[in-house]
């Protein structure tokens, strides 16, 4: 048990992702209306486990000291110190009273304390200097369950018969032994509450009471209560608002000093088994349960279990470490949750799970196109409602910004919509009987280029559409992308199609592969002047003055040749979105892969945009 601590260096690391969010149905956990789950909260965390470092070990207690060094109390294997690479095991043969440890905590002086089945013990950070305390030294019992430490370094432990306090000078005091009802009971948990000047103790039979922090007398400030009749009080924890949380066998409660609130939904049936508790920021609380791990956040419960990556669903204790990682000690080893590098965003409805394009404009707004056209500004979404979003084939395929700040979007079956600061209008219809357009971009001179499914390429300039010629011998095909090269050339990419247009003439670009097997979905010019292409068929293609370089699953770290989106960020790093294999970043000669293990659900990445804040925005398709 440890209160929440957040390091100022912790940030969401890489990206914000535009996801369409849907309700989550988990039949074996309970009915959907009971769980009140938040898929958005689930996507904020990535579950991992220490398979090799802690094979099948029963973890009962967790703590951290110094920063980044974890301490795990095991049931039968002693105490383990783990720094992310090295594991140091400390057992009874090294001086501990037993190998069966229930709780671990850290005193203000840096000493590590354990409450165990054979007494209490403290030791130095390097595992030396073990000092043991037992009944012979004055403890109420050697069979200890609860452990907490106050700001003065006094150690509070509980067990059968009452409460013991180990003072800084090593002397021990007993409390509660003068109460016959408590002397026959067993203290299962303890929590220091310095704001109220008390220490809370949870007992068998569901009793919770408080002792004065200084005198050790039963406190009159907080009345004794039966929180959960006929149950054990397995853990106590204070949240950031100083509410007391009570973990019982069959439920979890929150006590604000006046009234008790049940956290477990009344309609939920089956196992619960609340064990460890750990406070998060802003009144949130992490719950260790027999059915996995749960996050309570403003009335919503978000659950994680073995299907999300936990080693085992029976979670005994929890810890939020200094870097924001949530550690879970289970009956089968150690799992941990790290903040996802991808943040799901609630785009306005309707979008029907289809985000085909996005744009970061010159004013810092983030645009997203799907069944509607919306933009994010100052944390708020606005929708333009361009047309009938209920029409199945009505969607924005591309978004671009003109040199004068107009936002243009191409719409399937409708043409091009132009918007500037509250006023929007449709451009005249292109001279194309089939108004299905998948490619659109705006050149530096303001000309709007538009490509259709039947192969036509148009340029809108000075109020009229003009059609571009194809190279001799080139068969028309679906147009997918445009690139404006420095010097005025326009590159046109499509299905089995790649040519360049300049000064009224078009020429085919020689390509080393059979173009019939390649689709050119997006093209950009990099900081080095080379042209980078996201293709389906050959992965990432790079053109440099007639020379070609390819990055694909045959010759590099990519796991797919189906790439759809490509962009350079503010640091000159190349980002590539794929059809179903996540997101890639190319830097210093190597590819870095972001997928489910980093918090990105399986999805097709349709488009990428780089915000003024340096974040990467992903438009995704069918992430529901």
pLDDT tens, residue by residue, 485-502? 988 999 999 999 999 999
pLDDT tens, residue by residue, 28-58? 333 333 334 456 677 778 888 887 777 678 9
Which carries the bigger pLDDT value, residue 8 or residue 298? 298
Compute the Cα dihedral for 94, 100, 104, 109 and give only its sign. Answer: negative
pLDDT tens, residue by residue, 62-108? 999 999 999 999 999 999 999 988 999 999 999 999 999 999 999 99
Which residue(s) pair with 523 in the sheet?
533
**Whole-angstrom distance, CA of residue 112 vs CA of residue 172:** 18
Range of weakest confidence among 147-156, 307-316, 527-536: 307-316
pLDDT at 349: 58
Judge whether residue 19 has pLDDT over 60: no
pLDDT tens, residue by residue, 104-143? 999 999 999 999 999 999 999 999 999 999 999 999 999 9
> Nearest CA to 451 among 472, 471, 465?
465
Q: What is the mean pLDDT of the chain?
A: 88
pLDDT average, residue stretch 435-457: 92
Q: 178 by DSSP, 3-state: which?
A: coil
User: Do you know the residue count of the chain?
Assistant: 624
pLDDT at 40: 64
Judge whether residue 591 has pLDDT over 90: yes
pLDDT tens, residue by residue, 143-169? 999 999 999 999 999 999 999 999 999
- The highest-level CATH class for domain 15-340 is mainly beta
pLDDT at 31: 33
Return the residue matching tokens 């069918």: 622
**Could you tell me how far CA 223 lies from the centroid of its own chain?**
40
pLDDT average, residue stretch 530-536: 97
CA distances from 425 to 137, 375, 384, 413, 421 (A): 85, 17, 11, 16, 12
Angle at 578 between CA 457 and CA 325, to 5 degrees: 140
**Could you tell me how far CA 226 lies from the centroid of its own chain?**
38
pLDDT at 388: 58
Instruction: Copy the structure tokens of residue 553.
Output: 């699953």
pLDDT average, residue stretch 551-565: 94
pLDDT tens, residue by residue, 203-219? 999 999 999 999 999 99
Instruction: Copy the structure tokens of residue 386.
Output: 């361009």
Which residue(s) pair with 213 in the sheet?
none
**Whole-angstrom distance, CA of residue 185 vs CA of residue 207:** 10
**Whole-angstrom distance, CA of residue 544 vs CA of residue 531:** 7
**Whole-angstrom distance, CA of residue 61 vs CA of residue 58:** 10
pLDDT tens, residue by residue, 381-425? 898 878 654 555 678 889 999 999 999 999 888 889 999 988 999
Other beta carbons within 10 angstroms of residue 311's beta carbon come to: 25
Single pTM value for the model: 0.71
Judge whether residue 14 has pLDDT over 70: no
Q: Is the CB of residue 238 less than 8 Å from the CB of residue 254?
A: no
pLDDT at 347: 65
> Nearest CA to 490 among 532, 457, 534?
457
pLDDT average, residue stretch 436-452: 94
pLDDT tens, residue by residue, 337-378? 988 888 777 666 555 556 889 999 999 999 998 888 899 999
Q: Which residues make Cβ contacts (< 8 Å) with residue 228, sequence separation at least 6?
A: 206, 246, 248, 249, 250, 251, 253
Judge whether residue 472 has pLDDT over 90: no
**Whole-angstrom distance, CA of residue 203 vs CA of residue 209:** 8
pLDDT average, residue stretch 252-259: 94
Domain ranges of the chain: 15-340, 510-603
**Could you tell me how far CA 544 lies from the centroid of its own chain?**
38
């Amino acid at each position: 048990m440890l209160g929440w601590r957040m390091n100022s260096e912790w940030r969401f690391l890489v990206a914000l992702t535009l996801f369409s969010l849907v309700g989550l149905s988990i039949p074996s956990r309970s009915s959907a209306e009971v769980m009140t789950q938040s898929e958005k909260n689930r996507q904020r965390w990535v579950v991992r486990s220490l398979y090799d470092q802690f094979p099948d070990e029963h973890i009962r207690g967790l703590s951290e000291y110094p920063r980044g060094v974890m301490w795990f109390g095991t049931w039968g294997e002693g105490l383990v110190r783990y720094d992310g690479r090295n594991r140091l095991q400390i057992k009874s043969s090294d001086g501990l009273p037993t190998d069966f440890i229930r709780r671990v905590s850290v005193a203000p002086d840096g000493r590590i304390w354990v409450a165990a089945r054979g007494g209490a013990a403290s030791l130095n950070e390097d595992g030396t200097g073990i000092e043991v305390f037992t009944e012979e030294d004055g403890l109420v019992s050697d069979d200890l369950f609860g452990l907490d430490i106050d700001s003065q370094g006094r150690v509070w432990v509980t067990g059968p018969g009452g409460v013991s306090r180990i003072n800084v000078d090593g002397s021990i005091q007993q409390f509660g032994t003068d109460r016959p009802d408590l002397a026959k009971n067993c203290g299962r948990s303890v929590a220091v509450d310095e704001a109220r000047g008390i220490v809370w103790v949870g007992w068998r039979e569901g009793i919770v009471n408080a002792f004065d922090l200084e005198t050790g007398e039963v406190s009159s400030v907080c009345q004794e209560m039966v929180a959960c009749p006929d149950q054990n009080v397995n853990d106590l924890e204070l949240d950031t608002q100083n509410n007391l949380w009570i973990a019982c066998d069959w439920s979890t409660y929150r006590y604000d000093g006046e009234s008790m609130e049940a956290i477990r939904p009344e309609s939920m049936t089956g196992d619960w088994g609340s064990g460890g508790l750990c406070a998060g920021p802003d009144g949130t609380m992490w719950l260790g349960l027999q059915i996995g791990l749960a996050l309570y956040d403003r009335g919503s419960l978000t659950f994680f279990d073995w299907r999300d990556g936990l080693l085992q669903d029976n979670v005994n204790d929890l810890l939020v470490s200094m870097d924001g990682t949530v550690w879970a000690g289970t009956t089968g080893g150690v799992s941990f949750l790290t903040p996802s590098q991808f943040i799901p965003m609630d785009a306005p409805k309707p979008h029907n799970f289809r985000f085909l394009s996005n744009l970061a404009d010159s004013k810092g707004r983030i645009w997203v196109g799907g069944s509607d056209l919306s933009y994010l500004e100052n944390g708020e979404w606005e929708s333009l409602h361009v047309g009938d979003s209920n029409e199945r084939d009505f969607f924005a395929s591309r978004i671009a910004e003109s040199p004068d700040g107009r936002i243009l979007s191409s719409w399937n079956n409708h043409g091009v919509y132009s918007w500037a600061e509250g006023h929007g209008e449709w451009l005249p219809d292109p001279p194309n009987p089939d108004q299905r357009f998948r490619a659109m971009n705006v050149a530096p001179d303001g000309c709007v280029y538009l490509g259709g499914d039947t192969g036509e390429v148009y340029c809108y300039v000075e109020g009229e559409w003009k059609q571009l010629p194809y190279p001799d011998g080139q068969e028309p095909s679906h147009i997918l992308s445009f690139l404006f090269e420095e010097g005025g050339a326009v590159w046109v990419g499509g299905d089995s199609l790649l040519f360049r247009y300049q000064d009224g003439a078009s020429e085919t670009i020689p390509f080393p592969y059979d173009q019939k097997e390649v689709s050119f979905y997006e093209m950009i010019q990099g900081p080095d002047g080379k042209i980078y292409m996201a293709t389906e068929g050959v992965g990432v293609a790079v053109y440099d003055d007639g020379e070609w370089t390819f990055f694909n699953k045959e010759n590099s770290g990519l796991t797919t040749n189906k790439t759809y989106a490509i962009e350079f960020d503010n640091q000159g790093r190349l980002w590539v979105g794929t059809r179903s294999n996540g997101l890639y970043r190319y830097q210093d000669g190597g590819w870095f892969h972001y997928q489910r293990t980093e918090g990105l659900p399986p999805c097709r990445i349709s488009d990428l945009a780089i915000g003024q804040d340096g974040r990467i925005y992903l438009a995704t398709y069918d992430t529901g």
